[in-house]
Chain A
Amino acid sequence: MNVLAFAGRRLAGAAALLVLLSAAVFAATAVLPGDAVSAVAGVDASTGQRARVRAELGLDRPAAERYASWAAGALRGDLGRGFVGERPVTEVLATRLPNSLLLAGLTLAVTAPLALLLGLWTGLRAGGTADRLVSTGAQVLAAVPEFVVAALLTAVLAVWLGVLPRVSVVPLGGTPLDAPHALVLPVLTLGPVGLAVATRLLRVCVADAAAAPYCEAARLSGVRGVRLAVRHLLPNAAGPAVQALTLTTGALVGSSVVVENVFDYPGIGRELQLAVAARDVPMVQGIATALVAVMLAVLLLGDLCARLLGRREANGR
């Protein structure tokens, strides 16, 4: 019951945040110089033509009014149509968002176990040489821009060794799963970012847990190694660790915009970038809101998991 109340409260909070953030995105598009008229009417359209297109797109109405009508539609599940190409925003989301989630999911699946191991290893040796080495390495890795990682990997794996395609060319009408080799470079590029962030966060959780009195007690009573990690450390670090991983997801979403563009991966990040350049407000608004919703859902899920794990931990003690 307690957990349900907690979930309800957090859900309400997330919903409120979603509304706030969607309004912020709308405001941001409103203050960008220029509008979609150039993309729709053509840059050399006459003043009259531009005015007509602006009216057709509804851009002559006040921003608050436009946001209200967009929000009303969004509540009914109608995110409107893009100005450029007039395709329904939900349709674009339906075709592109799964590709991005697949990319992020695969990256997490690869990095999470590795980060867990590295986090445990360094956390238990906090302050030692190994810890300092790995931590510094992770910090460097987190600081290297994705496009540099992408360029290095491409140079080695695609150009020099020639074992992977340089571009994620997905078969027409197919999904990235139809060309699994096309996923390798994007995942390898995204991986280090996620790995670095997650390792550093997990290390702190483990180090904290290892310094806690019950862990000390276990150690004093002779529990060591894997047994100590599995029986005592992990259950107690699990809650914070889940939250650490949810935060990693946030970093991945940001990086995937870059990675999708570098490898021409057909994800939602590439669409967002295109939509911003064209000032395609409904598209920007829809995609950004969907991404925010995904992020909030992940964070919410992470909080819930952490809470459940925390309860078990509290009950078990």
Chain B
Amino acid sequence: MSRHFDRRALLRRGAAGALALAAGPGLLAACSTDEPANGRGAAGSSPRSGGTLRAAFVGGGASETLDFFNGPSALDLVRARAWHGTLGNLDPTAPDGVRYGVLKGIDISDDLSAYTLHVRPGVRFTDGSELTAADILHSLGALAAKSTLPVYRLAAANFDLAHARAEGDLKVVLPTLRPIADGRLILCQGNFLVVKDGTKKFRTGMPSCGPFRLTEFTPGQGAAFTRYDDHYGHVPHLDGLELRSIADSTARAGALTGGEVDFAHDLSPVTARTLADNGKVELVPTKSPYLIGLSFQMNMGVKPFDDPRVREAFKLAVDREAMVKTVFHGNAEIGNDLPSMGFPDYADGIPRRAHDPGRARRLLKEAGADGMKVRLTTGPETPGMVEMATLYVEDLKKAGVQASLRELPAGQLYADFATYAALPLAGSYQMPIPALSTYQMSTAGGSPSAFGWKESATDALVAKARAESDPAEAKRLGTRAQRTRWEKGNQVLPVFKPNLNAQAKGVAGIRDDLFEQFPGFSRASLA
């Protein structure tokens, strides 16, 4: 039942959200303009205005806070995005790969050492005051820089937030810590939100400039909003929005079929299956690249995983198709031992690894590791994880490994991170974040979550790819780095699974909010 904290761990692990590096067309269905339009209705019809949409998420408990810079649950971020203005969202169809929010644009200096953020003039907070560079500086420098969430750490790891400065009312200059070409996509991934300069306490009545005004907040239960009619971009179709916290997957689905909510986030595969025949609701799983990678990490600091032949054998042993079929009823994608499938910087030219238990057996024998004993540790941190691990243990046995499974109770796997990082073989997962950012966040520099992978040459290659302003060259360098990971790496990543969301028939426009990792409601409408 502690799915709350599964979600927390999930979000903590990679809330960096979706920063596409140079998104390809069709990844996100979206319009690239942000004038006050009607949004895009289904099949050309204009969406109905009015009504209050109610959506259910896994939130926290009574200790939930409105301070999204420190709020760890998915709901915290969804709530904050309804309420506060964003710097921008990813939009592959837009010229810069992003659709700007409270910004008019971002200029990058030729030497990639400084980013200039141009504030959109005339953006007003709900108290009538105009948004200026000072508000952006405060939000980024004072609040985001102090946050412990990975998403904000990613910005602090790339920009020198302490030396950011305002030039007049409508310009902010952000120096980079080292040359990067993809900084727009870090700042405009939909997570960076702005509040008024000087804000320290987050409370219900505080000024905001998002599409909705917060009218009610009950920690652990939910929040209610009304439309903000002076919103800078487009005014929402909905009159109101209610975000509810319902921890249990079955209970969320029950609230949806019972008509108590119109949208249910992140259901378990089994729960989602029970909804398939329900005429009143439809499943709307997230699409690539917003899929969660399910993986097994081999610890290179533990014998015999220091031997690349053993690692390859463990990758060849896994029956990926069986996992997709049995655990996810076909509603998942086959992975190729690399995270971030579907993102533009993902190395999709590498052939898919075969299922070859015979070769795995031979490789293990060659390495003197046939008959080796290993214990795979995992927990129910995300639906399907334990079931996958159960199948993997059987796969390993077929390759001649004496494998066993240790299933921890919910909330245990990451509770003691040092213990987790020292496991010989662990079942884990990756949030949808572009390949090179994932590498920078959790693998480079021998980070604890790298499980003993310490390759400064690959680190350097990734850094070089990120500092390359020519997209073709950046892709070439990035692919080389991933090829190394694919060949010698310590990650088996057989399956990518979607967030299984469901909504009442007739609800539309949730995906048009452009932040598919977590749904947004600025363009949503009811039937």
**Which residues from chain A sit less than 8 Å from chain B, CB to CB?**
32-35, 37-47, 49-50, 53, 82, 84-87, 91-92, 95-96, 154, 158, 162, 165-167, 169-170, 172-173, 261-264, 266, 270-271, 273-280, 283
Contacts and interface: CB of A to CB of B under 8 A. Distances in A.
Given A35-B416, A87-B219, A40 B447 contact: no
> Which 7 A-B pairs have CB atoms at the shortest separation, nearest pair first?
A34-B415, A166-B254, A34-B416, A85-B63, A277-B411, A277-B2, A42-B12
Contacts of A167: 246, 251-252, 254-255, 258, 260
Contacts of B65: 85-87
B224 interface: yes
Contacts of A273: 1-2
B4 interface: yes
Given A42-B13, A85-B65, A278 B258 contact: no
Contacts of A91: 62
B60 A84 contact: yes
Nearest to A81: B63
A195 B32 CA distance: 62
A263 B224 CA distance: 21
Contacts of A35: 415-416
Contacts of B255: 165-167, 169
A82 to B, nearest CB: 4
Contact of A43 (B9, B222, B224, B257): B9
Interface string B45-85: 00000000000000011111100001110000000000000
Contacts of B4: 274, 277
Nearest to A94: B62
B157 to A, nearest CB: 11
Nearest to A283: B63
A166 B149 contact: no
A310 to B, nearest CB: 41
Given A172-B221, A172-B224, A277-B2, 5 more contacts: A33-B415, A46-B448, A167-B252, A266-B221, A280-B63
Contacts of B453: none
Interface string B436-453: 000001100001110000
Contacts of B149: 42
Q: How large is the interface on B (under 10, 10 to 19, 20 to 34, 35 or more residues)?
A: 35 or more
A303 B299 CA distance: 59
B220 interface: yes
Contacts of B9: 38, 43
A264 B248 contact: yes
Interface in B396-417: 410-412, 414-417
Contacts of B138: none
A263 B251 contact: yes
A45 B254 contact: no
Contact of B12 (A44, A96, A165, A166): A44
Given A173-B216, A275-B61, A264 B441 contact: no
Interface string B99-136: 00000000000000000000000000000000000000
Contacts of B61: 92, 270-271, 274-275
A87 B63 contact: yes
Find the residue from B8, B71, B223 having the highest chain A CB count within 10 A: B8
A264 B260 CA distance: 13
Interface in B1-45: 1-2, 4-5, 8-9, 12-14
15 contacts: A38-B415, A41-B148, A43-B417, A44-B12, A85-B63, A85-B65, A86-B65, A92-B62, A95-B62, A169-B244, A172-B242, A173-B218, A261-B248, A263-B251, A270-B247
B219 A84 contact: no
B453 to A, nearest CB: 14
Contacts, number: 160
B1 A261 contact: yes
A53 B70 CA distance: 13
Nearest to B247: A264
Contacts of A86: 63, 65
B5 A274 contact: yes
B150 interface: yes
Contacts of A262: 248, 251
Contacts of B64: 85
Given A38-B9, A46-B448, A166-B251, A172 B222 contact: yes
Interface in B504-523: none
Contacts of A43: 9, 12-13, 414, 417, 420, 449
A50 B218 CA distance: 30
Contact of A45 (B148, B220, B252): B148
A38 B441 CA distance: 16
B13 A278 contact: no
Interface in B290-334: none
A246 B243 CA distance: 39
Contacts of B414: 34, 38, 43
A278 B442 contact: no
Contacts of A84: 60, 63, 72
A284 B381 CA distance: 21
A87 B203 CA distance: 13
A274 B219 CA distance: 13
Given A42-B149, A169-B244, A274-B5, A158 B254 contact: yes
B416 A33 contact: yes
A70 to B, nearest CB: 17
A295 B447 CA distance: 47
Contacts of A277: 2, 4-5, 410-411
A49 B148 CA distance: 9
B5 A39 contact: yes
A264 B8 CA distance: 18
B218 A34 contact: no
Contacts of A34: 412, 414-417, 419
A172 B251 CA distance: 18
A82 B63 contact: yes
Interface string B363-388: 00000000000000000000000000
B214 to A, nearest CB: 11
A20 B388 CA distance: 44
B138 to A, nearest CB: 20
Find the residue from A49, A154, A270 having the highest chain B CB count within 10 A: A270
A158 B254 CA distance: 9
A17 B411 CA distance: 31
B297 to A, nearest CB: 12
A38 B63 contact: no
Contacts of B447: 44, 46
Contact of B417 (A50, A169, A276): A50
Contacts of B148: 40-42, 45, 49, 53
B251 A264 contact: yes
Contacts of B5: 39, 274, 277-278
Nearest to A32: B415
Contact of B411 (A44, A96, A278): A278
Given A92-B63, A96-B62, A165-B260, A154 B254 contact: yes
A166 B259 CA distance: 10
A88 B6 CA distance: 23
Interface in B244-271: 244, 246-248, 251-252, 254-255, 257-258, 260-261
Contacts of A154: 254
Contacts of B247: 261, 264, 270
